[in-house]
Structure 1
């Protein structure tokens, strides 16, 4: 983008530099107004091949998205913000699209009678839209919701429960399955252990029948009976059964051992197709006919993306099957979210379509959310995010440089992986130590640092290797962690799981919960900015017998906050020059709780930090105007080569400084390639950079609004 973007209120007057805006991780960059959401839980496919997807959350409101022939067509809207969220199921008939959604009250601020739940309550139910205009709600008597004139009174409340964070999954009040014909809508009410049947026109309940924890539903070939996935109550098992419209049992499918059905559909040949999100990662095919049935055949590579070569994506290498559908020609459509039903962390979406002979027709991806990127300096064509690996071809046009080259997660072999729990979002740092590659990642607020190793036998999978936490992590993960204190964990037995005797409590004996920052230098040393406390440095002490990096909290080097700082929120150390870069607050540029997550108002450089001198070279007064619209602060900073890059949180505007002098030389903002737009930079360490051998800089910025990472390409 060769652009001159006008200055915002309170913004820096620095000139806009000459650069190109690109991105990684999403098929679409938003230059054309489209993107692929990152956590699709269900799909519905019309006979003509139009795909409607549903996700509980998409940062920019594409919970219900629409695709046709591999092209994004838009979204239904009115599923995000002001009390609205998406859900886990979707279906349709000739007139209507029905989608599971969640409706809240914005902490009690939405109060119109019958339109919103009472304060402290939340509704889970179904929104009804016109099939020929899915942005338009189709109202009915008793319908709730005043979410805008186009969708008023078009919401059916199924369950009202106490409001709780989405991570609290105890009650599971979600609508977990939907299917419909032109007369009736069938609803899986997981919480109430029943199937509910509603008139498709009036939306009045007609009947219900008990079924333990029902989930995915599909209309049978006769157009009246239904197939239902449900739990059995025995060792977490599931069953798939057919019922007539009144709940009379008609037929059962016999599932293979270990199967975990996550979605179901019936094709025009009356074959029942079941997405198995268990270890097989295949689609199970059952032939038509009466009586109980066994699997006739399967679709897809056994093991999916985790088959050899492990972690590598490709046709029929499914990765967490979450939805399936078919069109009138029996083309197959598959949604994958990396985990199947109700993942603990958003690991990305792939939507694919295959012809009846198994040839892939199209595929689109939305792989990143609240994520960063880092170049492997030992292999600059390889880039790591927190959960994915990409191969780059820098000669290709913007948005086309990247190719998805591997997943880093294996929830079957390494179910305790930090990536699948708390340490899923923020800054990846790939480092080469003693000839081996290691990935270091932080969580969104930099409370902890995760460490992963790689083994050729595990392909691209990142094996949990170590972790340092500032505090005890709430909940039942990780197992055996020390209480009320920070700690270090190392995988002493090499199994990638937390062991009871693998922890070391922080000798400080304190729980440091402040939000600050981490840095891993090129020698493997770990630097920790501890807010108003200190700066701590853990030297790398080699590898243990399992190839895990070793650190010793008792050998930490503690540094008082350097003048003029009263609080340090970010720190970065350059081994080659023995230089420490620090960002935070001073007496004259004081901390304010309203900007608790930011890097700070001041950045400084200190030379000779470890090897002598600690000479203060300069201060940079970072852009800061909380009265500006939008707010102008600095969320994250990063030094690379001859420059320092500092990013604002709202518009991903990057201020570029000369690292030798601290002088600001220019500004980088999102270009037309991404719609001149970005979501909020929401992580403490949401920017990174790499200087290529030809002098070009790649600057990566978190962009969770539309499931990607921005990549600015700038050659001074």
Structure 2
């Protein structure tokens, strides 16, 4: 079960698997149930070195000098990191940016930024069944933050009763400390309960009044900012974000629902609807008034721009900000200063500078930018990665690095944390609305070249699928095109993926989808189907493009090999159940987990729990207790060359276990689950040669390793090893650089 250190020992809230990405997980492959609460575990990090270049040896073994670096976040950690997925923001006249996120793994749901720096955060937004939200506003005295407060069971303190959730406005002073009030709720009396039915979708203040969008009740509620008592309310259907114009009247986004389109409505502060409205918008997500009194609207539809309206009388669009089409204009996917993507936040300061946050799509990550009124980018903060890992393009010797949605270009001559440039955003929801990354929660990428062409293979936290993407390099298109997908069998005899996506999937069993007509959509007649044991241990894609997977405790034939059958006319890899090969599980394994095969040397590495070192309970997400190397794998009954016993749970407390493994060059790399220690073994002998932790460059800290492929190693042509390790606590991927 994975939770983060919080300031007070207590019970912490679960994370939602799709919208927030990860929930607490019961280690059972018969069913995946989410636990609601656990006591927080206090984790201490012992700082053993402050040097940039670090050595941590295994007694009697040679060592490799290594440096710690990272990608995906503007800051390395400690007190500084950019939060996950800003959902709303408010910009003060002096350029201070106040933000709100539903979830930040390290507890910065509400960050405060200025001049490209982190200057603070709202306290106690995390844990104790509490999360952030999708609205924030500020006046001269207070921050008003939309939060969600769930129940925590029996307690004498003021929490919701079981089965009830409070959708609150929590009041803070401008430094980020809770500001209680006489009628306040919660243990510190700083919460205003606006609803028990649905989240708050908009906040604004004017003349000592706080305006709250209670979308579930289709009402705008008005409260005194001093007493937080409700003064009045009025009806608005599906109210969203709110801003107040220079006449103290309200502009309110009316969110779309089904066939009902979005609008922007105009109301007096007393609740009288005014005749002005804006209807020619598709996906308005944020709204603000600039110093000239113009209305700015974040249009998150295909335009991906800020629309600018003169609202002195009847609203007239007088301009736009940002490149039309956003990141998908020009060379699709190529990141540039004025190319936006997935806009969630918008604001201006007193001098007319414009602040915009892009989250990407399906919560890709934070991209917060400040622009001058003329459109010059003045600063930018990035927090792009959450529960993700990276891999290097073998053809570019590690210069091109990919995560599930981002393409980074590396310059290894630069200092740690400065080596990466966010070059391309590879997901396009408008051209490929059925892209699996929009409908699932993928976590880690394999980068492979097949016939010289680049492909991404992406799996998830439960190893339940493997997604395949191709690139149309002939058109300088940087977007990854949905190409194929493997999905495992549902153990209850139902569809492999519940819900309406993807269309036309088989009613039961497992399937392989291939984009036969090249349109990136799941069309009828594009599925190959079968049925197999439902519980998977891991995936692998070898250098030839063959796909491998392991089945956990299924009889004695638990390895599936899908040889690549070539590329079709649209450039999609071809795999089929008719060519699938079943291979025996070596007899020492009782529960097979990971697999990595190297066709150049006919070498197989397998991991899992064994007869000699069995599992304690059912720890579903880990490597197991042993890694075994087999030479001459394709021959009949190969015998092990060596067996390594890796850190694993022997007590049932799961304090020690190995989360992931990766083989590259002359070494086998593993990373432990809770402590994020990397252990290195000689691939020829199985002897451990080194182990190390995150260095001072990332404040000697890491979150837990949450995914089956949370470590990925790559050997460059100069002998250097790049070791990528998931670090979602503070929104990045750690890179260890070791000279071979």
In the superposition, the TM-score normalised over structure 2's length comes to 0.89
| Alignment partners' CA distance in 2, 1:578 and 1:511 | 26
Task: Please tell me whether the aligned partners of residues 212 and 230 of structure 1 are also in contact (alpha carbons under 8 angstroms).
Answer: yes
| Alignment partners' CA distance in 2, 1:575 and 1:396 | 35
Which ranges in structure 1 are unaligned for 5 or more consecutive residues? 147-151, 162-172, 340-344
Match of 1:2 among 50, 53, 56: 53
In the alignment, what sits opposite 2:42? none
| Alignment partners' CA distance in 2, 1:6 and 1:200 | 59
In the alignment, what sits opposite 1:333? 355
Confirm or deny that 1:400 pairs with 2:447.
no
| Alignment partners' CA distance in 1, 2:360 and 2:347 | 18
What secondary structure sits across from 1:153 in the alignment? coil
In the alignment, what sits opposite 1:505? 529
Confirm or deny that 1:428 pairs with 2:453.
no
TM-aligned CA distance change 1:85 to 1:458, over 3 Å: farther
- 1:692-711 correspondence runs (5 A): 692-711=716-735
Match of 2:688 among 664, 668, 684: 664
Q: Deviations over 1:191-213 (max 9, x none)?
A: 11111111111111111111111
- 1:11-410 correspondence runs (5 A): 17-31=64-78, 33-106=79-152, 108=153, 111-112=155-156, 115-131=158-174, 133-134=175-176, 136-146=177-187, 152-161=188-197, 173-222=198-247, 224-231=248-255, 235-256=259-280, 259-290=282-313, 292-339=314-361, 345-380=362-397, 381-410=399-428
Matched residue count: 678
| Alignment partners' CA distance in 1, 2:288 and 2:75 | 28
Match of 1:521 among 536, 542, 553: 542
Task: Please tell me whether the aligned partners of residues 562 and 580 of structure 2 are also in contact (alpha carbons under 8 angstroms).
Answer: yes
What secondary structure sits across from 2:729 in the alignment? helix
In the alignment, what sits opposite 2:40? none
Q: Deviations over 1:223-260 (max 9, x none)?
A: x221100036672411112211121112424343x531
What secondary structure sits across from 1:673 in the alignment? helix
| Alignment partners' CA distance in 2, 1:51 and 1:253 | 28
Task: Please tell me whether the aligned partners of residues 580 and 609 of structure 1 are also in contact (alpha carbons under 8 angstroms).
Answer: yes
Task: Please tell me whether the aligned partners of residues 255 and 295 of structure 1 are also in contact (alpha carbons under 8 angstroms).
Answer: no
Does 39-48 or 242-251 show the bigger shift? 242-251
| Alignment partners' CA distance in 2, 1:591 and 1:707 | 31
Match of 1:653 among 677, 686, 703: 677
| Alignment partners' CA distance in 2, 1:182 and 1:15 | 69
Confirm or deny that 1:492 pairs with 2:533.
no
Shift of 1:14: 7.7
Task: Please tell me whether the aligned partners of residues 608 and 625 of structure 2 are also in contact (alpha carbons under 8 angstroms).
Answer: yes
Q: Deviations over 1:35-72 (max 9, x none)?
A: 11121111111111111111101110011011110112
Task: Please tell me whether the aligned partners of residues 34 and 74 of structure 1 are also in contact (alpha carbons under 8 angstroms).
Answer: no
Does 648-657 or 73-82 show the bigger shift? 73-82
Shift of 1:480: 1.9
In the superposition, the TM-score normalised over structure 1's length comes to 0.92
TM-aligned CA distance change 1:554 to 1:220, over 3 Å: same
What secondary structure sits across from 1:605 in the alignment? strand
Which ranges in structure 2 are unaligned for 5 or more consecutive residues? 1-51, 490-495
| Alignment partners' CA distance in 2, 1:413 and 1:125 | 37
Confirm or deny that 1:563 pairs with 2:581.
no
| Alignment partners' CA distance in 1, 2:536 and 2:119 | 40
Task: Please tell me whether the aligned partners of residues 569 and 584 of structure 1 are also in contact (alpha carbons under 8 angstroms).
Answer: yes
Shift of 1:328: 1.0
Task: Please tell me whether the aligned partners of residues 721 and 739 of structure 2 are also in contact (alpha carbons under 8 angstroms).
Answer: yes
In the alignment, what sits opposite 2:17? none
TM-aligned CA distance change 1:204 to 1:15, over 3 Å: farther
Q: Deviations over 1:413-443 (max 9, x none)?
A: 1111111121x43220111112211110001
What secondary structure sits across from 2:320 in the alignment? strand
What secondary structure sits across from 2:443 in the alignment? coil
What secondary structure sits across from 1:191 in the alignment? helix
- 1:406-555 correspondence runs (5 A): 406-422=424-440, 424-456=441-473, 457=475, 459-471=477-489, 472-506=496-530, 509-510=531-532, 512=534, 514-533=535-554, 534-555=558-579
- 1:611-626 correspondence runs (5 A): 611=635, 614-625=638-649
Shift of 1:493: 1.5
What secondary structure sits across from 2:408 in the alignment? strand
What secondary structure sits across from 1:635 in the alignment? strand
What secondary structure sits across from 1:500 in the alignment? coil
What secondary structure sits across from 1:419 in the alignment? helix
What secondary structure sits across from 1:378 in the alignment? helix
Q: Deviations over 1:452-493 (max 9, x none)?
A: 111133711111111011131122222221133111111112
| Alignment partners' CA distance in 2, 1:603 and 1:354 | 52
- Quote the RMSD (CA, aligned, Å): 1.9
| Alignment partners' CA distance in 1, 2:100 and 2:725 | 27
Match of 2:608 among 560, 574, 584: 584
| Alignment partners' CA distance in 2, 1:20 and 1:58 | 27
Shift of 1:126: 1.1
Match of 1:684 among 708, 713, 717: 708
| Alignment partners' CA distance in 2, 1:5 and 1:434 | 40
Q: Deviations over 1:241-285 (max 9, x none)?
A: 2211121112424343x5311100001110100010010011110
Task: Please tell me whether the aligned partners of residues 63 and 689 of structure 2 are also in contact (alpha carbons under 8 angstroms).
Answer: no
Task: Please tell me whether the aligned partners of residues 332 and 354 of structure 1 are also in contact (alpha carbons under 8 angstroms).
Answer: yes
Shift of 1:374: 0.5
